[in-house]
Structure 1
Amino acid sequence: MKYGIIGAGAMGYRYGVMLQENAKVEVDFIDTWEPNVEKVREQGGVSVARDHKNRRVVPINIFYPEEYQGHPDVWIIFKKQMQLDEELKRDAAAGIFHEDQYVFSAMNGMGHFEKIAKYFPAEHIICGTAMIATRLDGPADVDFMGAEGAEEMHVAQYVGTKPAEVTQKMMDEFKKAMLNPIFAEDYLGMCMSKVVFNAVVNTLCTMFEVQMGQFIEYEGVPEMARQLFNEAYDACERAGIHLIETRQQEIDSVTTISHAYKYHYPSMYQDFSKGRPTEVDYINGYIAKIGRENDYVCRTHEFATHQVHLAELMRKYHQK
């Protein structure tokens, strides 16, 4: 199948390049960040490294929405939650969406599938989560973190519990791309399992401005994780959401994933360190929202959300 990547950022490049190089499928990239598009065109592709090594330029096709004339079978969307509405409006206005197309997204946080459903039939929406660390160090400059073959991801239908024909074909090509997809029957439980993980690792690494390997050095991390996970699981259980991992599996994953990506700064910190708004409202804030909607107050998640927003505000006093 042919793929179109909406959002040529860290994860968009990761999926697109791996599909293009490993699965040998056709991939087009759509982006609206002018420095990124023009840098790709200037250097003849995107500059790719893995764990800071073996940097090379990978030729890709990149377009602004208004100039795109292609017709992918599946769109892959990786935008920041705060940017998604405007991106989809611009893409729709450019006429690049078609009735026969499917769409896949494995963005951080929650809320994006509802936005995507304004433009695609629910039956054509494929949900995903990705335990894949990637850095965008500048326009057209990306670093794939972690050993080759260590990628982990899940896929689920937005509607239904079995993979549709297009979903199965996509997963087969994702396997060839070495993205290692696993199918889950319940998209909500799948997505919330990743949200609650990010609510610990992404948020705490951002608060203390540390890499994941530095974060896990503290012997109290498992207990901190347990407190945040217990709140999140209690809220989800009250909402009838059943996560695909147990509480203990989530706690254990904090240790294993942090060691596996020890030199990685999570995406929330990458945004924070560059003066951009973070996605904390779609992660810890979303968990707190679920709690309040079901008569349960997630006090630690609410406090963490306020802490990140306070840190965002305080950046103005630390500008050089």
Structure 2
Amino acid sequence: MHYTVLGAGAMGLRYGVLLQEVAGMKVDFVDNWDPEVDTIHSQGGVFVSRDGEDKHLVPINIYRPEEYTGDPDAYIIFCKQMGLQKMLTECAHFFKPHQYAITCMNGMGHIEKINQYFPQEHVLGGTALIATVLNGPGDVDFIGRPGAGTMNICPQTEVADDFTHQVVTDFQAAHLNPNLTDNFVGTLMAKVTFNSVVNTLCTMFEITMGEFIASPVAEKLSRQLIDEAYSACEAAGIQLLNTREEEWQSVVHVSRDANPLHYPSMYQDMSKNRPTEVDYINGYIYEVGHAHGFEATTHNFLRNLVHLAEFGKTFDMDAFRAAVLAR
């Protein structure tokens, strides 16, 4: 199989490199972030480490959207929600009717955009409990021992065809530990709920997942957010993949056992003064409930707190002080 990764960030690199290096697949990468493309070209590949150790160069083929002429069997899409539409628009010239789209992006809102270019019959959606950090352009750190992390994957039609089964086989060979499900929206929303707890709270208080779960209030905070998310989904007629108790246990396991030293991706964005995906996580949960008569007020409150923190990170205090003194 030939895969092309759209978005050579932390997770795109992890999936693509493992499929190339471990599973032996042909893999290309496409990215529209110039520093990433230029750095990988100049150094002849991407530097890969694991938990900060064994840093080594992995040669990869990376292109800008306007340069790419490949014809893969499937695209693996790992963009930030805010940049997805731009990436799809720039890449549309090489999409073909026989190709599939596979995505394990954080948050919600991406499937509708992907369906503008790929029919439901050719879309596989998933979620990844796999921790990865992009240290900088051309430098990625895989968190956890080899084979760490799991993922769920589901065809949008909820009926697995032969291609879907081949993807699962390839992902198994790459040690991505895929689990094939038959509940598309419920699968995606279970990860949105997980992220609405761990990503958001770790980001707000600048702590690792292990620090969060060690807190005496972690369970109380988690269950409140989980309960609100499930109630919002129930109001909308969405059956989540897990029960409320299973969702809490997932938060415990991933935070305490799998990735205790990891700062979630939202924290990584915040720390680098980049916009976060909170509108597509906590905000999405609130909007789903609101549209069906349920007010997930805690999620909405957290969304606004994150936006306040984003504002504070980028606020020009020197200019503000000068303006106040000039009054």
Tell me, yes or no, whether TM beats 0.5.
yes
Q: Give the TM-score range, shorter chain.
A: over 0.9
Sequence identity (%)? 51
Please give the per-residue CA displacement for 1:199-241, whole angstroms capped at 9, x wherever unaligned.
0000000000111112122111011100000001111111111
Separation in 1, partners of 2:317, 2:151: 37
Distance between the aligned counterparts of 2:284 and 2:94, measured in 1?
31
Q: Secondary structure at the match of 1:182?
A: strand
Q: 2:230 aligns with which of 225, 230, 233?
A: 233
- Number of residue-to-residue matches in the alignment: 317
Q: Structure 1 residue 316: deviation in Å?
A: 3.1
SS in 1 for 2:192: helix
Runs of 4+ in 1 over 4 A off after TM superposition: 317-320
Partner residue, 2:206: 209
The equivalences for 1:20-169 within 5 A come to 20-92=20-92, 95-159=93-157, 161-169=158-166
Instruction: Flag structure 2 segments of 5+ consecutive residues without an equivalent.
Output: 319-327
Q: In the superposition, relative to structure 1, how do residues 243 and 168 fare at CA in structure 2: closer, same or farther (>3 Å)?
A: same
Q: Cα 1:136–1:319, aligned 2, differ >3 Å: closer, same or farther? A: farther
Shift of 1:318: 7.9
Aligned partners of 2:186 and 2:71: how far apart in 1?
Answer: 32
Q: Which residue of 2 is the match for residue 261 of structure 1?
A: 259
- Tell me how far apart the structure 1 counterparts of residues 317 and 136 of structure 2 sit (CA, whole Å): 20
Separation (CA, whole Å) in 2 of partners of 1:221 and 1:319: 34
Give the aligned residue type for 2:52.
H
The letter of the residue matching 1:232 is A
> Within 2, Cα distance between the matches of 1:9 and 1:58?
15
State the 1:162 CA deviation: 2.5
1:200 paired with 2:197, answer: yes
TM-score, scaled relative to structure 2: 0.95
CA offset at residue 124 of structure 1? 0.5
- Scaled by the length of structure 1, the TM-score of the pair is 0.97
* Partner in structure 2 of residue 188 of structure 1: 185
Superposition deviation, residue 256 in structure 1: 1.2
Larger radius of gyration: 2
Determine if contact 2:75/2:101 at 8 Å carries over to the other structure.
yes
1-side partners of 2:276 and 2:13: how far apart? 20
Determine the C-alpha separation between the residues in 2 that align with 1:17 and 1:316. 34
Deviation at 1:302, TM superposition (A): 0.7
For residues 176 and 316 of structure 1, what CA distance do their matches in structure 2 show? 43
Q: Secondary structure at the match of 2:94?
A: coil
Report the CA distance between 1:317 and its aligned residue.
4.5
One-letter amino acid of the counterpart of residue 269, structure 2: D
Deviations 1:23-80 (A, max 9, x none): 1010000011111111111111100011111111101001111111110000000000
CA–CA separation in structure 1 for the residues paired with 2:273 and 2:35: 17
Match of 1:276 in 2: 274
8 Å CA contact retained: 2:223, 2:248:
yes
**What aligned pairs does 1:277-292 form with structure 2 within 5 A after superposition?**
277-292=275-290
Instruction: Name the residue aligned to 1:301.
Output: 299
Q: Which amino acid aligns with 2:141?
A: D
Matched, 1:243 2:240: yes
